[in-house]
Structure 1
C-alpha cells in the first residue's frame, strides 16, 4: 500500500522505471536525480526502482551507497568496488588505486548505482568518481537522491524526478494504512477515530515521513481519548519546533518510554546517513547502561534490547536498508541532535569549543583535535568515536592524552578512522570503566601488555586487523560478552575458557597445546548463535570431547563440527568422540564436515535428542554406509548431504518410523555420492510432502530414484552427472505441475521427455544431454522466460518445417542461450517464433561456418531482440545478414570468433547503440576508424574493441 502511494509522488512514475532500465538512448553514463524536500519520499522511490524485478533483471551489477554531506570519494569507491566491508582491501591503497578497482569491478558490466542523500554542490568530487564509471557497459545508470536542485543540475544527465508533497486524498490513504494497519475495529469506533485522524493528517503537510511516524504512534493505541490528546497537543502551535524539527516527529518522541528516549538520543553522535548495524548499536547502549530490566517479568537482556530497537524501527525512527542494516532519516536525526544537545556532540571542521556538559563525543577531523585537550572538558566523557582522516603520529599522542584524562570512558570506537595506528597507547589499560572497544579495520598489530586490566570490558571488536599476538592476560577479561575478530586472531587467546560470560565466539580451533584444548569450551555456558569447532582431529577421546559440555549450551542455535580431510583415527574412537559432542536439544542448525565413523553417534540416530533441528549439512562422511533416520525430525526444513562415497542404498532407515517422512523438509540436496545406486520410496508412508527444491549432483551410478513419489509442491529440480533414471524422469515430469525451474546437465542416458504439463515452468536448462529427446518440443511452455540449450543435438527428430499455431510458441521467452548442436536442428520446430525474446547468446559453435537460409529466416522474426552475443565460435566465418534488420537491437557482442573476416555486407541495424568486439583479429583492423567496415558501424554511439573504447558519442 505504501509503495503504491509513493509511486504517485513522481509526475510520471513509469517513465522513471524506464530510465532505470538503462535505456541505451543515452550515449554515456546516465544520471537520474530524484529531488525533493526532506521526508517527501526520495529514498523510498529510489528503493522502489532499485527493487523492481524488471530493473533487477536488466542490470548485472547493483550497489547502494549512503553519501550524506561528506562526498568521500574514497569511501564511496570502496563500497562500489568491494562486495563487503570485511573484504580484504589492500593496505595503503591510494585514491587512484581504489578508483581503478571501481573501473575493474564495472568493466563491461551494465550497472545501477544509487547515491543516496547527496549534498555536494561543487561537482568536483563527483567528476572524479564519474571518470571511474565510464568502463561500464552502455546503459549503466546512477540514481541520485538529493534535496538540492543544484546537485541535480551538476550531476544529472536527464531531467530530474521532482517529488512534491502528497495531495490530501493520497495522503490519507498512506496515513490511514499506518494508523490502522490490518486491525479490525467496530464500525462506530473506526469512524470516530477516522474523524480525528483526518484532522491530524491535515497538520502533516503531505509529508510521507511525518505520516508514517505519527501513524505508527497512533497505531500503538487505538483509543479515542489518546488520539484526541495527540490532536490537541501544544506541539502543533508551531509549524516547526526549534531547528526545523517537525512537531509530528517531536510528538512521537515525547511518547517514547524514558529508556527508549535515551537510546534514541545517543544516536545523534553518528554522522548523517550513517549505516547502523543493530548489534553494534545495542551493544553501545548496553555499555552506557541505557538498557536495564526494570520489569517485574524476568526477561533476558537481549530480548529487552531487541524490543527497544524494534520499537524504534516500528516507529520509523530507523529505516531498514537493502542489506539488513538501518539508516536514520535526516529529519529524525535532527530530532535526536535537538534532544541530546546537552550531552552529545559531533565535531567537524567548523566546530570550535566543546561544552563541559558533553558526555558523548564524535570527531570527524583532526583539524580541531587540540580544542578538546583541556582536561576539565574530558574527564566526564563516556563515549568517543572517530571518523575520517587523521595524521598518524599526531593522532597517537592525541589519543594517549584523551585516554589519560577520560577515566570514565565506556565506549571507544576507532573502526571508522582512517589512521595508520600500529598500536594502542598504554593508557587504555587504565580505563577501568571501558565496556566497548572497537579497533576493527585499523593497522594495529598489538595490544598493550596490561590489556587484561579492562575488567569491565563487554565488547571487543578486532575485525580486519593485523594483530600478530595478544597479551597473555586477555583471558582475564571475565566480563567480556562479545568477541569479534579474524579466526587467526581469536586462536591466539590462551585460556579462552576463562571468559565465562562470553556470548559470541564464532570459531574455536582445537589444538593439543595447553589451554587450547576443546575443554576450554566447558565454562562458556552463555554462548549464543553460531559456534564452529575446527580441527576436531586433535580430540583423542570421548571423555575429552565431553569436557566441552556442548549439551549444556542451550542458547546455541547453530553448531559446526569440522575436521581436516586428512584426519585419521580408529573407527570406534571416531564414533565415541562424536558421542561426546552431543549438542543441546534446542539446536536449530547442525553441520558436520569430515566424519570417519561407520555409524553415527546415538544423538544423531535417535530423533528425541535433536527435535528442533531445521537445517542439517553432512559432508565427507566417507565411511558411512547408511544414513541416520533424519526423516523423523519434525521441523527439519533444509538438508544438504555431500561426499558420502560408501553409501550404495537409501531407504527406510533414512525415513524413520513416523507416518510422514520429512514432514517439513523444503530443500534436499545430494552431492558426490559416487557409489549410490538405489534410492527407495517410503513404503506407503507419506513422502516429502512439502519439498520445494531437489538437487542431485555427481551421483554417477544412481539409477533407481523415487521421482514418481515427489510432491506436486516441487518448484526446482536439478540433475547433474547422475545415472540413468529410466522411466522415473519422464514420468515425474507429468505430475510436477508447480515446477518453475528445471535443470538437467550431463545426463548421458537415452531419454524422451514430454514437458507439456509443466505449465508453471519459467527457467529450463539442458546442458550436455546428448541422447535426450523432447516429445512435442517446447511449444507448450507458455510461461517460460529463460532457456539454455547446450550440447543437446537430438532434442527433435524431424527436420521438416511445420506450421506452428501462434498460441503454441514460446510467447514469454526473453532470454535464450544456444550452441551449434541446437542451431543445426530445425529452430522453427524446436523453438518456433519468439516475439518477446530480448537477449540471445550463441556460444561454442564449433561446427558452424555460416548461417543457413532457414536460420537466417528464423533470426528475422526476433523483432524484440535487444542484446545479441556470439561467443567462442572458432569455425564461424561470417555473421548473419539479419543483423541489419533487427528493429530493437541495442547491444551486439562478438567475442572469440577468430575466423570472422568482416561484418555483413548490408551492415548493422541503425537501432544499435553499443558494439563490443574481442578476440576477433580479422575484424579488429576493419572496424577501426578508417577501416573497411567503419562505414557500417560509424553510427553506433559506443564501440569497444579488445577493451579499448573506439567511440563514445
Structure 2
C-alpha cells in the first residue's frame, strides 16, 4: 500500500509539472493578450494544485520552501494580471453604456497605450517567473510522499456549537466554589483560577460554570466576561469591566477616572468577573487591578483561566483557589471523538473504524481539542487505510504535549479544501483572542477571492458553508453569548491561531504580534492596531506594494492613525480590501479611483461629508460601509454605475436627506440597511426597491418632504428575505395606511419596528396573522388602538408599545390565548394609559414573561399579577403606581432579581 501511495504521489507531480511545462511552451508561442489571459487561468488552477499538495508534505527542506514561496508569488501575480485585464474589459463595457463616456473615456488612444504597456509588462513577469520555477522542477518530482487524502464522504449532520464531555464533576465543584460565601474569610473578593495546557478546554469549562443557572441567580448584580490575552493592561481591563457593568461605551482615557467610576458601579454589589486567557505574571499589574475590584460586596468572585501556574500564584495565596483542569478520561475522550467522527447513531455500523479510532484517541492524551479536531477530519471518510495512516503518523513521536496537539491540528488543516485553508489562515491577520465578526470575515474572504459564487450558490452562501465547516472542525469558536449567529463574534483557540500564523508566514502581518522589521515587499495582508504602530511611514518605508488587505483596528472614538490616504491610493494599487474604521477621516481623495481591484471598502465611524464621484469608477467594489459617518450629507449622483455592489451600508444618524436615483440598476445589491424615501429632485423612488433582491435588515425612513404616498399596490417588499424591518414615518400626513400596506413584508420577517405611524387604521397584513415568524415587535404609533394579531403570535418574545390614545389594556390586548412565548414587555410613553386590567388567569396569559419595563406612563393606576417576573423596571411614573402594584399582587409568588424604581 505504501508503494501505491508513493506511486500515486509521483504520478500527481509528474502530471502537474508536465502541464506547467506545456503551458509555458504555449505561452511563448502564443500571440494576443486575450488568449494568454485564458491560459493564465489554466496555469493558476494547476499552480494552486501543486501548492496545496506540497504544503501537505510532512517535512519540507529549505529548497522546497523557497520553491513553494515562488509558486505562491506566481499564483498571486497570476490573479493580479487576470483581474487587471478583466477589470479593464468590464470598465470599457460599463462606460460605453453610461453617460460618463463622453466625459471620461477610459479607452482613449492614450489610455490604450498605457493599458497595453502595463498588461505586457505583467505578462512578461509571469512568463519569467514560470520559467524560473521550471528550472527547478526536479525538486517537486523528488518530494517524499504525503499522507493519502480522505475519500469523499457525504456530510449529514448539523453544526455542533458546544459539545462537552466529561466536565460535569469539575463544573459542579467550581460552581460550589463560586456560590459558597465563606463567612470566615476576611477577603471581599475571592479568585478561582482554572489552570491547564492549551487545548484542554479551560474556557469551555468556564463557560459551563458561567452559564449555570445557580451561578446566574447567586450573583444578582453583574456577571461579566472579558478576554484578557497576552497583554495585561489594568486600564483596559477596568474599562472593559466598566462597560460590561454599565452596558454603555466608555470614552475615558484617564485611568483614575475609570477607576472611580468602576468602584462606584461595583460598590456594595456581589459580582462575578471572568478573566479569560490570562498570561500576566507581573505582580504589580495584578495589584493595580485588584485594588479596584475589592470594592464589591463580600462574596464577589473572580474566575480566571490561564495556562500558567505562576499566574494564579501572583494573585495571592489566602484568597486564591487553583483548579488544575484534568485531561479527559479515555472513555470521555473516545465519546467526544465519536461524536465528531460519526454523529449520534453511526458508530455501531463501523466497528473496524472505531477500533482504529480508539487507538488514535489513546494517543490524544485526553486533550479534547485534539479529539474534536481529528474526529472532524476523519468524518469526511470511511476509508480504513486513511484512518490507519493517521494512527501511524509521525506526529505522535513528539514529546512536548502542546507541540503534539499543534501537529494534530496541522494534520486536520492539511485535509481542508484550498478555499477553507485560505479562509482559516486569514484569521492570523487579527490579534490573539480578538473577537471577529462572522459577517465581516466572510465579506473579507470574498473580497480576496477566497470564496466566490459557484453554480446556484452566491458567494455569501458558500462563505457561510465554509465558515460553518471551520466551526464544526473547531478551527473557529463561536461566541456562545451571541443571539444572532449571522453576526456572532468568533475567536480562535490560541493553538489554532499559532497554526494559522505558521501557515500564513510572510503573507500576513499584524502590528500586535509582528515588528516593522519583518514586513516584506511581498506582504499581502496587513493590519494595524492603535498604539502599536503610531507612524505609518514606517510601514510604507518597507514598500509592501503587493498588499491586498489593509485594515486598521481602531476604537470608534480614535483618530490617532497617522496615515496619508494619497499615499495609500497611489501606492497600494492591488488592494482588494481596505478597512479604515474609526480613523478620523474627513475627506476621501478623488484618487481612490486608482484602487481598481478594490472589492471591500469600510469607512465606518469617520466624519466624511461627501464622497467623490470618482468612487463610482471602482467597478469591482462589492461592499461599501459608510455607517456612523454622522456628517455624511451626499452620495455620488452616479451611484447606479457601481453594478457589482452587493452591500451599501449607511446606517442611520447622518445628514442624508435622499439617495440618488438609479438604485434599481444595482442588480447585485443584496443588503441595503437604510433607505431614505424622498420626493426631492434626483432622489431615488421607493419603487426602485421593487426588483432588488434584498435580505437581512432594513430601515425605511420617510423624509419630512415626502408626499408621493402610493406604490399602486405593488407590494415592493414581498420578494425581500428580510429578518428585520424598521419603518420610520415622518409623523404627518394621512397616507400612512396606504404606504404601510404597500410595504407588506415577506413571511420570513422576525423583527418589526414601526414608528411615528399616525393613521387610525392598520393595513390588512397587520390585521390578519400573516407574519408567523415574528419574535420581536416595536410599535410607536398614535392610532388609538392596538392591532389584533400580536396576541396570536406564538413565537413572539419581545414586545414594545409606545402608543398614544390608549387608556386601557385588557382582552383586546392579550385575547383569550395570551402570549405563550413573550419574555419581555415594555410600555413606554403611554401618557393616556390608566388601567391594565387584572385577570384571574394572568399567569396563563403571560407564562414566560420575565422582564417588564414601564416608562413614562404617568396615569397608570392598575396592573395584573405576574408571578413569573424576574426583572422589573418602573421609571418616570407617578407615585401612585407603587400602591397599585402592591394592591394588584404583582409581586405575588415572584422571585425578582432586578427591581429598579424611579417615580415622581
Structure 2 length normalisation: TM-score?
A: 0.69
Distance 1:22 1:141, change over 3 A: farther
Verify: 1:475 aligned to 2:627, yes or no: no
Picking from 248, 252, 255, the partner of 2:408 is 248
Offset of 1:233 from its aligned partner? 3.7
Which residue does 1:281 correspond to in 2? Answer: 441
Q: What CA distance in whole angstroms lies between the structure 1 residues aligned with 2:490 and 2:757? A: 41
Which residue does 1:563 correspond to in 2? Answer: 702
Distance 1:762 1:279, change over 3 A: closer
Q: What CA distance in whole angstroms lies between the structure 2 residues aligned with 1:742 and 1:729? A: 18
Q: What CA distance in whole angstroms lies between the structure 2 residues aligned with 1:316 and 1:386? A: 27
Verify: 1:310 aligned to 2:474, yes or no: no
Q: Mapping of 1:864-903 within 5 angstroms?
A: none
Calculate the aligned-residue CA RMSD, in Å: 4.5
Distance 1:649 1:208, change over 3 A: closer
Verify: 1:320 aligned to 2:320, yes or no: no
Which residue does 1:384 correspond to in 2? Answer: 526
Q: What CA distance in whole angstroms lies between the structure 2 residues aligned with 1:763 and 1:163? A: 34
Alpha-carbon deviations, 1:879-930, whole Å to 9, x = none?
Answer: xxxxxxxxxxxxxxxxxxxxxxxxxxxxxxxxxxxxxxxxxxxxxxxxxxxx
- Bigger CA drift: 221-230 or 602-611? 602-611
Which residue does 1:460 correspond to in 2? Answer: 601
Contact 1:548 1:581 in 2 (8 A): no
Picking from 652, 666, 670, the partner of 2:796 is 666
Contact 1:432 1:456 in 2 (8 A): yes
Q: Which runs of 5+ in 1 are unaligned?
A: 345-357, 656-660, 676-698, 773-787, 797-808, 818-840, 846-871, 873-953
Which residue does 1:336 correspond to in 2? Answer: 500
Q: Mapping of 1:60-71 within 5 angstroms?
A: 60-71=221-232
Verify: 1:644 aligned to 2:787, yes or no: no
Question: Residue 673 of structure 2: SS of its match in structure 1?
Answer: strand
Which residue does 1:349 correspond to in 2? Answer: none
Which residue does 1:426 correspond to in 2? Answer: 566
Contact 2:328 2:366 in 1 (8 A): yes
Contact 2:729 2:755 in 1 (8 A): yes
Q: Mapping of 1:177-188 within 5 angstroms?
A: 177-184=339-346, 187=348
Q: Mapping of 1:535-684 within 5 angstroms?
A: 536=677, 538-539=678-679, 546=685, 549-563=688-702, 567=704, 573-576=707-710, 582-588=716-722, 589-594=724-729, 596-598=732-734, 604-605=740-741, 610-630=746-766, 631-633=768-770, 635-638=772-775, 640=777, 642-647=779-784, 666-667=796-797, 669=799, 671-675=801-805
Offset of 1:173 from its aligned partner? 3.3
Which residue does 2:510 correspond to in 1? Answer: 362
Contact 1:598 1:624 in 2 (8 A): no
Offset of 1:300 from its aligned partner? 0.9
Q: What CA distance in whole angstroms lies between the structure 1 residues aligned with 2:554 and 2:785? A: 55
Offset of 1:547 from its aligned partner? 6.4
Contact 2:550 2:579 in 1 (8 A): yes
Q: What CA distance in whole angstroms lies between the structure 1 residues aligned with 2:246 and 2:544? A: 30
Aligned residues: 719
Q: What CA distance in whole angstroms lies between the structure 2 residues aligned with 1:771 and 1:253? A: 64
Offset of 1:265 from its aligned partner? 3.0
Q: What CA distance in whole angstroms lies between the structure 1 residues aligned with 2:849 and 2:286? A: 43
Question: Residue 450 of structure 1: SS of its match in structure 2?
Answer: helix
Which residue does 2:36 correspond to in 1? Answer: none
Question: Residue 764 of structure 2: SS of its match in structure 1?
Answer: coil
Q: What CA distance in whole angstroms lies between the structure 1 residues aligned with 2:182 and 2:578? A: 44
Q: What CA distance in whole angstroms lies between the structure 2 residues aligned with 1:560 and 1:636? A: 19
Question: Residue 757 of structure 2: SS of its match in structure 1?
Answer: coil
Verify: 1:525 aligned to 2:667, yes or no: yes
Picking from 832, 839, 851, the partner of 1:730 is 839
Alpha-carbon deviations, 1:775-811, whole Å to 9, x = none?
Answer: xxxxxxxxxxxxx975446469xxxxxxxxxxxx98x
Q: What CA distance in whole angstroms lies between the structure 2 residues aligned with 1:715 and 1:502? A: 39
Q: What CA distance in whole angstroms lies between the structure 2 residues aligned with 1:609 and 1:325? A: 28
Alpha-carbon deviations, 1:824-843, whole Å to 9, x = none?
Answer: xxxxxxxxxxxxxxxxx898
Q: Higher strand fraction: Structure 1 or Structure 2?
A: 1
Q: Higher helix fraction: Structure 1 or Structure 2?
A: 2
Q: What CA distance in whole angstroms lies between the structure 2 residues aligned with 1:739 and 1:270? A: 41
Offset of 1:97 from its aligned partner? 4.7
Verify: 1:261 aligned to 2:421, yes or no: yes
Q: Which runs of 5+ in 2 are unaligned?
A: 1-161, 483-487
Verify: 1:176 aligned to 2:338, yes or no: yes
Contact 1:66 1:117 in 2 (8 A): yes
Q: What CA distance in whole angstroms lies between the structure 1 residues aligned with 2:640 and 2:247? A: 27
Offset of 1:106 from its aligned partner? 3.6
Distance 1:70 1:713, change over 3 A: closer
Offset of 1:249 from its aligned partner? 1.9
Offset of 1:479 from its aligned partner? 2.2
Distance 1:386 1:791, change over 3 A: same
Q: Which one has the largest radius of gyration?
A: 1
Distance 1:518 1:43, change over 3 A: same
Verify: 1:81 aligned to 2:242, yes or no: yes
Q: What CA distance in whole angstroms lies between the structure 2 residues aligned with 1:816 and 1:142? A: 21
Between the two structures, name the one with larger relative contact order (CA 8 Å, sep ≥ 6): 2
Q: What CA distance in whole angstroms lies between the structure 1 residues aligned with 2:786 and 2:439? A: 46
Q: What CA distance in whole angstroms lies between the structure 1 residues aligned with 2:883 and 2:380? A: 57
Contact 1:482 1:504 in 2 (8 A): yes
Q: What CA distance in whole angstroms lies between the structure 2 residues aligned with 1:48 and 1:509? A: 38
Offset of 1:504 from its aligned partner? 2.3
Question: Residue 648 of structure 2: SS of its match in structure 1?
Answer: coil
Question: Residue 519 of structure 1: SS of its match in structure 2?
Answer: coil
Question: Residue 560 of structure 1: SS of its match in structure 2?
Answer: strand
Which residue does 2:53 correspond to in 1? Answer: none
Contact 1:751 1:771 in 2 (8 A): no
Offset of 1:634 from its aligned partner? 5.0
Distance 1:121 1:522, change over 3 A: same
Alpha-carbon deviations, 1:184-221, whole Å to 9, x = none?
Answer: 46x4x244443332222111111121122222223344
Q: What CA distance in whole angstroms lies between the structure 1 residues aligned with 2:861 and 2:429? A: 68
Q: What CA distance in whole angstroms lies between the structure 1 residues aligned with 2:237 and 2:733? A: 51
Which residue does 1:830 correspond to in 2? Answer: none
Verify: 1:15 aligned to 2:176, yes or no: yes
Distance 1:475 1:102, change over 3 A: farther
Offset of 1:149 from its aligned partner? 0.9
Q: What CA distance in whole angstroms lies between the structure 1 residues aligned with 2:834 and 2:257? A: 53
Distance 1:37 1:751, change over 3 A: closer
Distance 1:460 1:24, change over 3 A: farther
Verify: 1:35 aligned to 2:199, yes or no: no
Offset of 1:730 from its aligned partner? 2.2
Contact 1:766 1:790 in 2 (8 A): no
Contact 2:312 2:320 in 1 (8 A): no
Verify: 1:507 aligned to 2:647, yes or no: no
Question: Residue 321 of structure 2: SS of its match in structure 1?
Answer: coil
Distance 1:31 1:250, change over 3 A: same
Alpha-carbon deviations, 1:609-654, whole Å to 9, x = none?
Answer: 7444443322221133344332241544246363433445867xx7
Q: Mapping of 1:408-447 within 5 angstroms?
A: 408-416=546-554, 420-421=560-561, 423-430=563-570, 431-447=572-588
Offset of 1:118 from its aligned partner? 1.6
Offset of 1:37 from its aligned partner? 1.4
